[in-house]
Amino acid sequence: MRSFIFTIFLIITIGFTWLLNNQIPNTPLPPLGKVFNPFTGFWQNNNDSDFTIDSLAFKGISEPVQVAYDDRMVPHIFAQNDIDLHFVQGYIIAKHRLFQMDLITRKTSGRLSEIRGESLINIDKKTRRKGMVWAAENTLNAWKKSEEEYPKLQAFVKGINAYISSLQPKDYPIEYKLMDFKPEPWTELKTALFSKEMASTLSAREFDRESTNALSILGREMFDFLYPEYNPKQTPIIPEDVTWDFTNPLSKPVADPKSSLSFAPERPFELEYEGIGSNNWAVSGQKTASGFPILCNDPHLKLTLPSIWFEVQLNSPTQNTYGVALPGMPGIMLGFNENVAWGFTNVGHDVLDWYEIDWAEANKESYFLDGKIIKVDKVIETFHVKGLGTVYDTVKYTVWGPIVQESKGSDSKDLAMKWLPHLAPDINELSTFSKLNKAKNYDDYTNALQHYSSPAQNIAFASKDGDIALKVQGLFPLKNKEQGRFIQDGSKSSSNWKGFIPKEQNPAVKNPKRGFVASANQHSTSPDYPYYYNGSFDDFRGRILNRILSKMDKITPEDMMALQNNTFSIKAEEALPQLIKYVNTADLDETDKVFYNELKTWDYKYTAEGRSAILFEEWYDAFHKNTWDELDPYTEQIGRMPVEDWRTIALLSDQPNHGFFDNATTSPIETAKEIAHQSFKEMSNIVQNLEVDNDGPLNWFEYRKADVTHLTGIPAFSRNNIKAGGCPNSLNAIRGNKTQLGGWGPSWRMVVAFGEGDVEAYGIYPGGQSGNPASPYYDNMIDDWAAGKYYKLHFLKSIEELGEHTLHVNTWTPN
């Protein structure tokens, strides 16, 4: 009896302990004992952990290093050589953003199922099949050959690992505790993976499948009518008066650039990112109040907590640079020093092309290329799935790249992916950033840029000595006309890219007459640029930016801040007058009239608390839908390829009697007039219903809903419904959650003004320096960011200069 009772209690105790130490299967609950016990659980992640070190001794550094944190927790790192500087940058970024670095690189390497289990195995497989790890390996192998840069990368990685190895389980960031896994050592490959994650975010947009389907279903004439490549109203990044002193070595366009394939049923992978934009510009001294240039940059990315950017100052005998860094990459990506400033926006050129494979045998182990049979290279991918064990997947590689999605049937066609970021970059690619960090003038800037490969960026520049410049930089494939716009024939090597555009012939401009350079993701050049390129380009922000900048004079930094926060939309300015003239006022009820009059006086600004933007957006969407309803029956076959807004507005204003405006299902013949009026009534109905649900008038920011979402989606660690104006077509390009988790928007706003004395710089981003949700520095900048405020940046010559803004100073000594 005694032993029986003992055994029962022993089993209960052990069982209870086991339950509290493990994730309970099929529930979202973390291991409760691990998470709740106050010695190693979440209680340990209170806000003290931001500053737990005063002095540290390290093997990794050779001379003393000082780090001063300012009152927004920006570290100012003062080292006595570049190796130490990179080591400490690695340590500090890991200290504040470890989980973010880990999660992003796990995602990019297809290893999420290791921590989240079976539910993510298909996402992981798709990531590996896209060749993300292959791309990172190719990149790292190139980086390793750089004698100058590789040692700094090694020091950066060592610094990260010095922090990771100092951690006890109680110190792990809270997400590790909730998801029940451990930090693992950082590697050089992870840094390469991080750069490929950026490439995947920024340079993987293409519509090859949809264009191929649309062309074969609609025919050439209709295809060209609906999907012209260039908006004649566009004001390209490189001003139209710039001329080109070189010619395209390719002879005239080839006749048929597309494959025999006339229909592709499925996308190999869904477009993950849409509508990302960014702005940058530099104005010369002739347009500023001070007589010195001002440079501005606001890259638009997914709004996440922690933020994608980490603010830092890096000082060594060879450089003194301030700006934002990516958590996982050495150096500063966007920033300035005493002499120069630079900023990035994304280039929309299509560098991802699909090649149709002509299989030579039913088991799809070999394929035809120029009549010869070539075997695929098989790579076996291994996944250690939590709770399931090891899973394998075989990926076939062709000369073009990986087969991302293999169809089942033995006679079916498959597509191979050719993507520029798969290829090994220039071995000195990383030196782009270290050279920009150290640049003193225009020559240093062009010298730094020559090694940059991908993801391609519009790199704006300004220097204290008065130069402004902008270059569309990256490695671009040399293509025939329309090559890569459609699925290519993978059975002929002649379908391949014809090489690359020499980087010195990439579009660029220095000190243009108009006194400013600017980019907002629009077309790089006017169509007379000698090389063909296609891609995804913005149609409205670039135009408003060029319009406003050309009119500005005696510019101050405050003017530039106002411009970054500008919410005016050219789309509304062009579409609304065309639509409103068609409203039949005799057919409006009282509420309709209120809406109508409100729109008549609207200034096209998407202010946070305004309602007019909602009326316009709902009206325009209804009009777009009613106009293009003739295409609806084909949408399923073609895929999602809506007619662009600029094209719709052009048709509305230039051809209001076009047949597309007629609703084929009704007997009278409608024109833009009837469709505009009918869409107005539909809008009025929708908005009235929304206001009933809302119990009062709507406002733009609540209607749009832009969230800054924690990387795991945990609501308690997110900030929802940001109160700010703006829309994707305005310079303050805040996008709501409509299409994906979380919002998009200006992820770092920077204004750098040169002057007689020291450089004056302002910046802000929607987040905070700390990745710890308990820290007061986790999301402390969001409200000021939403309100359009800026912080003056403490760009120091010495630590002492920080004075009363000093939060904390750490001293690091060599061990």
Does 166 participate in binding other proteins (rule CB under 8 A)?
no
Does 185 participate in binding other proteins (rule CB under 8 A)?
no
Amino acid symbol at 805: H
Catalogue the E-assigned strands of 387-545: 389-397, 414-419, 457-463, 468-473, 488-489, 508-510, 516-519
Does 249 participate in binding other proteins (rule CB under 8 A)?
no
Query: Which stretch, 2-10, 140-148, 520-528, 640-648, contacts other proteins (CB under 8 A)?
Result: 2-10
Does 40 participate in binding other proteins (rule CB under 8 A)?
yes
**What is the C-alpha separation between 264 and 266, in angstroms, rounded?**
6
Does 38 participate in binding other proteins (rule CB under 8 A)?
yes
Among 293, 335, 455, 773, binds other proteins (CB under 8 A): 773
Q: Tell me how far, at minimum, the Cβ of 1 lies from other proteins, in Å.
A: 6
Element (H, E) at 163: helix 150-165
> Residue 576's closest CA among 548, 537, 613?
613
Q: Tell me how far, at minimum, the Cβ of 327 lies from other proteins, in Å.
A: 21
Interior CA angle at 723 toward 719 and 726, to 5°? 115
Q: Tell me how far, at minimum, the Cβ of 771 lies from other proteins, in Å.
A: 13
Query: Which stretch, 13-21, 248-256, 634-642, 792-800, contacts other proteins (CB under 8 A)?
Result: 13-21
Other Cβ atoms less than 10 A from the Cβ of 679: the count is 23
Burial 538-548 (b: 16+ CB within 10 A, else e): bbbbbbbbbeb
Chain-centroid distance, C-alpha 265:
28
Q: Tell me how far, at minimum, the Cβ of 46 lies from other proteins, in Å.
A: 4
Tokens representing 180? 């029940």
Does 179 participate in binding other proteins (rule CB under 8 A)?
no
Query: Which stretch, 39-47, 264-272, 286-294, 679-687, contacts other proteins (CB under 8 A)?
Result: 39-47
Query: Which stretch, 7-15, 105-113, 458-466, 798-806, contacts other proteins (CB under 8 A)?
Result: 7-15
Cis ω on the peptide bond leading into residue 425 (within 30° of 0)? no
Does 39 participate in binding other proteins (rule CB under 8 A)?
yes
Q: Tell me how far, at minimum, the Cβ of 43 lies from other proteins, in Å.
A: 4
Site string for other proteins, 94-113 (x = CB under 8 A): --------------------
CA distances to 343, 578, 608, 698 from 614, rounded to whole Å, are 32, 17, 11, 8
Q: Of 317 and 776, which CB lies nearer to other proteins in the complex structure?
A: 776
Three-class secondary structure of residue 82 per DSSP: helix
Query: Which stretch, 17-25, 321-329, 590-598, 780-788, contacts other proteins (CB under 8 A)?
Result: 17-25
**What is the C-alpha separation between 273 and 739, in angstroms, rounded?**
10
Does 6 participate in binding other proteins (rule CB under 8 A)?
yes
**What is the C-alpha separation between 235 and 242, in angstroms, rounded?**
12
Does 17 participate in binding other proteins (rule CB under 8 A)?
yes
* 342 Cβ neighbours under 8 A, 6+ residues apart: 295, 297, 334, 335, 336, 436, 439, 445, 459, 460, 461, 462
* 693 Cβ neighbours under 8 A, 6+ residues apart: none
What dihedral do alpha carbons 641, 646, 652, 653 form, nearest 10°? -160
Site string for other proteins, 655-694 (x = CB under 8 A): ----------------------------------------
CA distances to 164, 183, 238, 264, 460 from 213, rounded to whole Å, are 50, 46, 33, 7, 38
Q: Of 35 and 399, which CB lies nearer to other proteins in the complex structure?
A: 35
Q: Of 5 and 255, which CB lies nearer to other proteins in the complex structure?
A: 5
Among 64, 81, 150, 169, binds other proteins (CB under 8 A): 169
* 651 Cβ neighbours under 8 A, 6+ residues apart: 627, 658, 660, 672
Does 780 participate in binding other proteins (rule CB under 8 A)?
no
Q: Tell me how far, at minimum, the Cβ of 27 lies from other proteins, in Å.
A: 11
Among 178, 706, 711, 764, binds other proteins (CB under 8 A): 178
Q: Of 342 and 778, which CB lies nearer to other proteins in the complex structure?
A: 778
Among 123, 641, 774, 807, binds other proteins (CB under 8 A): 774
Among 23, 34, 98, 449, binds other proteins (CB under 8 A): 34
604 neighbors 730 (Cβ within 8 angstroms): no
Whose tokens are 């909730």? That residue is 178
Site string for other proteins, 42-71 (x = CB under 8 A): xxxxxx------------------------
Q: Tell me how far, at minimum, the Cβ of 17 lies from other proteins, in Å.
A: 5
Among 23, 41, 140, 560, binds other proteins (CB under 8 A): 41
Q: Tell me how far, at minimum, the Cβ of 9 lies from other proteins, in Å.
A: 4
Helices (H) and strands (E) in the chain, counts: 23, 27
741 neighbors 713 (Cβ within 8 angstroms): yes
Does 807 participate in binding other proteins (rule CB under 8 A)?
no
N-to-C CA span, the chain: 62
Among 79, 85, 98, 174, binds other proteins (CB under 8 A): 174
Q: Of 367 and 778, which CB lies nearer to other proteins in the complex structure?
A: 778
Q: Of 178 and 215, which CB lies nearer to other proteins in the complex structure?
A: 178
Chain positions 705 to 724 lying near other proteins, rule: CB under 8 A, are: 714-717
Chain positions 206 to 235 lying near other proteins, rule: CB under 8 A, are: none
Interior CA angle at 364 toward 363 and 366, to 5°? 120
Query: Which stretch, 184-192, 243-251, 722-730, 769-777, contacts other proteins (CB under 8 A)?
Result: 769-777
Q: Of 46 and 394, which CB lies nearer to other proteins in the complex structure?
A: 46
Does 36 participate in binding other proteins (rule CB under 8 A)?
yes
> Residue 733's closest CA among 566, 530, 516?
566
Other Cβ atoms less than 10 A from the Cβ of 669: the count is 12
Cis ω on the peptide bond leading into residue 306 (within 30° of 0)? yes
**Residues forming the site for other proteins (CB under 8 A):** 1-3, 5-6, 9-10, 12-13, 16-17, 20-21, 32-34, 36-47, 169, 174, 178, 714-717, 773-774, 776
